[in-house]
A and B are shown apart, each in its own frame.
Chain A
Amino acid sequence: DTAVSQTPKYLVTQMGNDKSIKCEQNLGHDTMYWYKQDSKKFLKIMFSYNNKELIINETVPNRFSPKSPDKAHLNLHINSLELGDSAVYFCASSQGFLNEKLFFGSGTQLSVL
């Protein structure tokens, strides 16, 4: 079974649309993250949740809204998609938030046309 799974793997959509990416982890971890990897392969943290509570919000536009219904799930909803949102979005998890080993999903490649 995949430890950290995210869906969809590919997402192609028009500017202005609203879309969601889902993430689930079956590792029993308390902390989950969303990272964005841009076209230059630079990886940057967006959000972090610990036990459903937001602990990191890295000046991401408020068009991006994470939601954690339980500690095994962290979904990312994006409103009014823009061309610059095109990137690969990675979900990750760790046992706790005290800088522990990160486990990543396989990524969602978002293309905004």
Chain B
Amino acid sequence: KQEVTQIPAALSVPEGENLVLNCSFTDSAIYNLQWFRQDPGKGLTSLLLIQSSQREQTSGRLNASLDKSSGRSTLYIAASQPGDSATYLCAVGVTNAGKSTFGDGTTLTVKP
């Protein structure tokens, strides 16, 4: 059974800092990994999708890496802004039938 863990559970940083969020999974036989952002009371917005054959994906100030052999992914946020404050979740695609297992999320607060 795939288990997904995100550390830390919460993170508070001053504006402008670069930061890394971590996601680890127990079974390396994954199909993909997605990073999402969830704002309070809102749905999830997909940030980056990494297929199992890829090592990283970039979008603007965001960079996500994937190391299947060690069961880890990181989300790097450069030059953080208060608008980045949200909960970030990673989801591991565990089959080719659309089933994803989510982590508990990391709640990020970026202080002005």
Contact = CB atoms under 8 A, between A and B. Distances in A.
A101 B98 contact: no
A102 B97 contact: no
B31 interface: yes
Contacts of A50: 98
B89 A104 contact: no
A105 interface: yes
Interface residues of B, number: 26
B58 to A, nearest CB: 15
B44 interface: yes
B91 A102 contact: yes
Interface stretch (A11-19, A60-68, A92-100): A92-100
Interface stretch (B11-19, B21-29, B69-77, B99-107): B99-107
Contacts of B102: 42-44
B44 A104 contact: yes
A103 B43 CA distance: 9
Contacts, number: 69
A103 B41 CA distance: 16
Nearest to B93: A99
Contact of A102 (B31, B42, B100, B105): B100
A97 B98 contact: yes
B54 interface: no
Q: Which of B41, B43, B93: most chain A CB closer than 10 A?
A: B43
Pairs A-B, 6 closest by C-beta atoms:
A99-B93, A97-B98, A104-B43, A43-B102, A99-B31, A104-B44
Interface of B: 31-32, 34, 36, 41-46, 49, 51, 87, 89, 91, 93, 95-102, 104-105
Interface of A: 4, 31, 33, 40-45, 48, 50, 55-56, 58, 90, 92, 94, 96-107
